[in-house]
Amino acid sequence: MQLKSCSIILSLLAIAALPGCNTKSKESSSAGSENTKANTEYKPAFVGQTRIKSVITTTPYKVEKLAEKLGRPWAIIPLPDGRLMLTEKSGFITIHSADGLLLKKVTGLPSVDDRSQGGLLDVALDPAFAQNRTIYWSFSEKVDSGNLTAVAKGQLSADETTIQNPVVIFEAKPALKSENHFGSRLVFDKDGYLFVTAGERFILEGRKQAQLLNSGLGKVYKITKDGKPAPGNPFLNQAGAKPEIYSYGHRNPQSLDINPVTGDLWEAEFGPRGGDELNLIKPGKNYGWPVITYGIEYDGNKIGDSIQQKEGMEQPVYYWDPVISPSGMVFYTSDSIPEWKNNLFIACLSSLHINRLVIENNKVVGEESLLLDKKERFRDVCQSNGKLYAVTDGGILFRISKK
């Protein structure tokens, strides 16, 4: 897809003029959830693909603010003992009690490029963490030719204050000179392989590479603990293709989790102006960006041929217009609030809420907006001991639990 130079200039000028936007990407837009007008008149591919019926939680629950002034948290995960591990974009990790009390600051990670959307991003525990104390993290790595999404691993020291033997195991190349769309989430499957998401870096040079199998941009990867291609990967033996690729045609995927019942991999990603997507990820599949999309450019121009369906490209299970800006997400597996069992919870940025999706037979059948009254940009959400924990761009830690 090629755009005329004048359109590119107009697009960049329009993006820069967006209120509250300083990164040329809607991730940093301060638009609130009161905006319900769709950006386009595009029609869904099937009934229920967007604007599904609303549902309301009937079980009484409470929301507690556990901590604030946490800086710039990006990810939150539970430790085996119920404590919480948070990443901070500037390049360190913190460990908190289940009640939000700061217990440890963990340093010793490689330096990060924390401009705009970059920095220290996601974190995941090795499946054998109790024995080997190994953690994995993704970050924006600065290199001579720009920066890129990288994954590293190391061991948490006995006193939980440093990372020992840090080593970069994977890089989503090529590097570009961009401060946006790094992805990136990390999820281990039941066999101990690591799924990694990487964005297409927002600029047009990266956007077109989301469709290229010889590029690492706009992809979901499946790798070993050492960063090698996982056995059985779909492009393992295809000449010219990166063997770590699991799926492609993604824009900026910041949401990733595995359905606890089916074992399927689910992903959500930022669309442009309109067209945020929820996808069921299958090996080798092409998810369409930027050829098909339910969104438009930030300046209102159409993207490419302005098509939403094409043979050989996957449709999203669900999409949002107006957008929600989906960041971290988690399937709820507890029996504490039975009506939430196996529901998907997504931390949303521009729409200022946590999105609850009821999914049946791989279709979204109900949707609810939680914590709208907090007016916070929710960055990540996790589950621990039947409770949901969420962090915001404003540096707040919330806990949601049954009353």
181 is catalytic: yes
Instruction: Supply the pLDDT for residue 219.
Output: 98
Instruction: Supply the pLDDT for residue 36.
Output: 81
Instruction: Name the more confident of 315 and 31.
Output: 315
Collapsing DSSP to helix, strand or coil, 204 comes out as: helix
Collapsing DSSP to helix, strand or coil, 177 comes out as: coil
Burial 158-175 (b: 16+ CB within 10 A, else e): eebebbeeeeebbbbbbb
Helix runs in 180-244, H state only = 204-207
Collapsing DSSP to helix, strand or coil, 205 comes out as: helix
Chain-wide mean pLDDT for the chain? 93
Instruction: Supply the pLDDT for residue 25.
Output: 59
* Residue-wise pLDDT tens digits, 123-137: 999 999 999 999 999
Please report which confidence band the pLDDT of residue 34 belongs to, taking 50, 70 and 90 as the band edges: very low
Q: Is pLDDT of 79 > 60?
A: yes
Q: What are the angstrom distances between the C-alpha of 330 and each of 35, 333, 342, 365, 390?
A: 25, 9, 9, 17, 11
Please report which confidence band the pLDDT of residue 20 belongs to, taking 50, 70 and 90 as the band edges: very low
Mean pLDDT of 27-53: 79
Beta bridge partners of 197: 220
Mean pLDDT of 52-71: 98
Please report which confidence band the pLDDT of residue 93 belongs to, taking 50, 70 and 90 as the band edges: very high
Instruction: Supply the pLDDT for residue 16.
Output: 35
Collapsing DSSP to helix, strand or coil, 319 comes out as: strand
DSSP structure string for 85-131: EEEETTTEEEEE-TT--EEEEEB-PPP---STT-SEEEEEE-TTHHH
Predicted TM-score (pTM) of the model is 0.93
Please report which confidence band the pLDDT of residue 26 belongs to, taking 50, 70 and 90 as the band edges: low
Beta bridge partners of 211: none
CB 193 within 8 A of CB 224: yes
* Residue-wise pLDDT tens digits, 174-202: 999 999 999 999 999 999 999 999 999 99
- Which CATH number is 53-81+179-402 given? 2.120.10.30
Active-site residue among 96, 181, 250, 353? Answer: 181
Q: Among residues 104, 65, 64, which one has the least CA distance to residue 84? A: 104
28-32, 72-76, 291-295, 345-349: the lowest-pLDDT one? 28-32
Collapsing DSSP to helix, strand or coil, 266 comes out as: strand
Mean pLDDT of 243-254: 98
What SS3 string covers 321-388?
CCCCCEEEEEECCCCCCHHHCCCEEEEECCCCCEEEEEEECCEEEEEEEECHHHCCCEEEEEEECCEE
Instruction: Supply the pLDDT for residue 7.
Output: 38
Mean pLDDT of 371-382: 98
